[in-house]
């Protein structure tokens, strides 16, 4: 069963507003590089979904492994020094995770569940990982 991680950069608009859109672009590119080069396997699918939102589709991982990957991403981004034009930019991510269930008819259902988990992370203070367990 597939696992889906949906995450976005916390308060990303503030990065653009306070530092510039070029700084925001740098943060997006750097985040993608970190994740692709250090945090996911070659057979996982990673993409920018839109704006500051990303998705990772994990193949062959159980829910505990997906949560560990999510936490590793969260901690790595929080600890990474994002420096643009000699200014350190504050960057954290909120992550939501869901698991494909047999009764799910489409990817949209899997995404909606992960997106709900993402919003639970945001509503709980951001910079955290939330897993929506099967019902």
According to the model, what pLDDT value does residue 83 have? 97
According to the model, what pLDDT value does residue 106 have? 86
Active-site residue, from 52, 68, 85, 101: 52
Neighbours of 71 (CB within 10 A): 14
Q: How far apart are the C-alpha atoms of 86 and 70, rounded to whole Å?
A: 29
Using 50 as the pLDDT threshold, list the residues of the chain that sit under it. Answer: none
pTM attached to this predicted model: 0.93
According to the model, what pLDDT value does residue 1 have? 78
* Residue 9 buriedness (CB in 10 A; 0-12 / 13-18 / 19+): buried
69-85 pLDDT, tens digit each: 999 999 999 999 999 99
101 is catalytic: no
According to the model, what pLDDT value does residue 60 have? 86
According to the model, what pLDDT value does residue 66 have? 95
Q: C-alpha dihedral over 52, 57, 58, 60, to 10 degrees?
A: 170
Task: Kindly give, in sequence order, each residue whose CB lies less than 8 Å from that of residue 79, ignoring residues fewer than 6 positions away.
Answer: none
According to the model, what pLDDT value does residue 57 have? 95
């Amino acid at each position: 069963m597939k696992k889906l991680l949906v995450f976005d950069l916390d308060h990303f608009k503030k990065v653009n507003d306070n530092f510039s859109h070029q700084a925001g672009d740098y943060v997006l590119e750097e985040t993608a590089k970190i994740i692709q080069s250090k945090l996911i396997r070659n057979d996982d699918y990673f993409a920018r979904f839109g704006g500051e939102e990303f998705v990772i589709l994990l193949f062959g991982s159980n829910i505990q492994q997906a949560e560990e990957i999510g936490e590793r991403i969260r901690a790595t981004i929080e600890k990474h020094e994002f420096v643009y034009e000699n200014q350190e930019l504050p960057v954290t991510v909120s992550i939501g995770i869901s698991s494909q269930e047999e009764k799910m008819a489409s990817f949209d259902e899997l995404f909606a569940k992960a997106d709900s988990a993402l919003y639970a992370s945001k509503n709980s203070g951001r910079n955290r990982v939330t897993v929506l367990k099967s019902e």
